[in-house]
Structure 1
Amino acid sequence: MKQNGSEKQFSSQLIAAPLLLSVLTLLTGCKPTVITETIREPVPAAWLVPLPAPDLSGTYGEYIAQCEQVVKQCNADKQDIKRWSDAKTDTQGL
């Protein structure tokens, strides 16, 4: 039995399609395994030193001045932590 041109093309497509699908299936399994590791670095020890509580033995004005100093120091610590955090974020892309 002799096949004409369109029948040959159709039969070759029937063979090629499953072969192509099996090759594509094999190729999708060839990607490298990516392992993500999170490294947690400790906060610098200087930032963990507790601040002294304001002394209640002075005048009201002295107490308020001490409270203002504590707030300023806390805000400075927060700025240091933000700079430290931003520096860690900037180096992660390298």
Structure 2
Amino acid sequence: MTGKEKTFFRMCIKFVLCGLWTIKEVMDLVQDIIDYDECIGYLKKWEQLGFFSSTWTAYTGWFSGNLAQYPDEYRNIAEEYVHTSIEYKHPNTRD
């Protein structure tokens, strides 16, 4: 995984899988550092790896919520961000 792919993946997991933004919004945010066509290429790669599904356009797709489907390198990143987002959305209020 290249640095650009890792950055795009992290942002997609943090914002898209966790329900805050759309893939297109992430693509718009990173447009100065990651070309639109590169983002589409990453999405297609992830679809081939089996943890992303798309409709008629790649950026209208969705990520699998089953992190066990992700290859190790991707799962390690995803688990970190999903865990953090869940804690943020549902903080432990028992003190």
Instruction: For CA contacts below 8 A with separation 6 or more, give which structure has more relative contact order.
Output: 2
Give 1 or 2: higher strand fraction.
2
Q: TM-score w.r.t. structure 1 length?
A: 0.26
In our comparison, the structure showing a higher alpha carbon Rg is 1
